Amino acid sequence: MSDTPLIQPSVAEGDGTYTEGREGYGHIKSFVRRAGRMSAAQENYYAEMMPKIGLVYAPQPIDLAAVYGRNNPKILEIGTGMGETTAKIADANRDNDYLGVEVHVPGVGALCKQIAERQLSNLRICQHDAVEVVRDMLPEGSLDGVHVFFPDPWHKARHNKRRLIQPPFVALLASRLKPGGYFHCATDWEEYAHQMLEVLSAEPTLANSADGFAPRPEYRPLTKFENRGLRLGHGVWDVIFRKKVSKRPRRFA
């Protein structure tokens, strides 16, 4: 394994400058390509699995049914982290197909390991900027669900504009949902939770599934960090909305 980091530290961008290709989608780049090395296992699984289950970014719509070879429900997860939660959800719900989008290479390698060990045929990975993946590759009305679990809170006020959950991007994601499809966010940062609730409530095509914050559904497992936070008295907030079903006008004979 090379001693050269697979991910180089990111170059700081001007706080007010939109990243090329992201204009109009609500924020400048919301992630940082962290410096880090893969473990030997992560590197091996990455090399073995990505040619099999990796979805290569291309600026053209894809046929998700063809990608998975079936017409089962399709769920997008933005930011899979080290992949443990993503793999658990896919393992417990094998009748659903999942697309994880993640830029952090060691995290992708860790998820590849989970996919191989659990023999998950219903999980694919796209290692690319989620804004571009959603905008360019996912057709309107192609998703049954969207997961955004514990995104970077960018907790300093001057960095709030970098948060992923912003009105234009939420509108873009909502357009990719089928009628009745769900949009599920979770965070352990209370101020961000209220922003999520406010932004999703303002999207006219979405309706809250709860009166405010939602109870954690069984399909979202507790992470070890979440369990630790709960023991310390920290809160976790789930926000779950659904795509409205448009009412067709009644026809009279």
Question: Listing from the earlier edge strand, what are the strands of the sheet with 143-149?
Answer: 123-126, 97-101, 74-78, 143-149, 177-187, 237-243, 206-208
Q: Please tell me the distance from the alpha carbon of residue 151 to that of residue 160, in angstroms, as a whole number.
A: 12
> Do 56 and 123 form a contact (C-beta atoms < 8 A)?
no
Both tokens of 214, joined, read 């939602």
- Annotated catalytic residue: which of 63, 152, 188, 211? 152
Nearest to 143 by CA among 77, 82, 93: 77
What lies within 8 Å, CB to CB, of 22 at 6+ separation is: 28, 29, 129, 131, 132
Q: Residue 152 catalytic? A: yes
> Which residues are tagged catalytic?
152
